[in-house]
């Protein structure tokens, strides 16, 4: 209970006290009405599509697990798609298309589930293979 409510709950003995109590209640109602309007506007603003997208992006970028998971899924889909395109190409052969789709599904799942190994292999390749070729070029 607020201070105003405690004072109002006391026994009122004259009309002056009634007027003061009414004024206090009207003041309290005015303040609560303004607070409700502010909270409504804040809630309304937060439900706008732009704000929803922004909050989702903030959650995605702030969560390393979710970001890694999404990255792995995207890498899996891309490598699966590329493997299917390489296998099927422009062929109209039904068997080749089925094999390409199965290969795409398999590669997508393997890459999405083993992103840590692929990251390690990529880092190893970058550090050892590319740096060796850079050293060989600089020695010439």
Write the pLDDT tens digit of every residue in 106-116: 998 888 888 88
For the chain, domain boundaries: 3-46, 64-139
Q: What span, in angstroms and rounded, lies between the C-alpha atoms of 70 and 74?
A: 6
Sign of CA dihedral 107, 110, 73, 128: negative
Task: Kindly report, residue by residue over 67-105, the tens digit of the pLDDT.
Answer: 777 778 888 889 889 988 998 888 889 998 999 999 999
């Amino acid at each position: 209970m607020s201070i105003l409510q405690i004072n109002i709950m006391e026994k009122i003995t004259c009309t002056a006290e009634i007027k003061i109590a009414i004024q206090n209640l009207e003041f309290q109602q005015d303040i609560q009405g303004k607070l409700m309007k502010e909270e409504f506007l804040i809630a309304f603003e937060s439900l706008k599509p732009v704000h929803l997208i922004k909050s989702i992006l903030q959650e995605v970028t702030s969560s390393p697990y979710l970001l890694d998971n999404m990255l792995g899924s995207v890498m899996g889909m891309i490598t699966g798609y590329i493997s299917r395109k390489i296998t099927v190409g422009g062929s109209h052969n039904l068997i080749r298309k089925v094999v390409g789709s199965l290969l795409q599904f398999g590669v997508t799942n393997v890459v999405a589930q083993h992103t840590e190994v692929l990251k390690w292999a990529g880092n190893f390749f970058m550090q050892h293979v590319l740096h060796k070729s850079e050293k060989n070029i600089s020695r010439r």
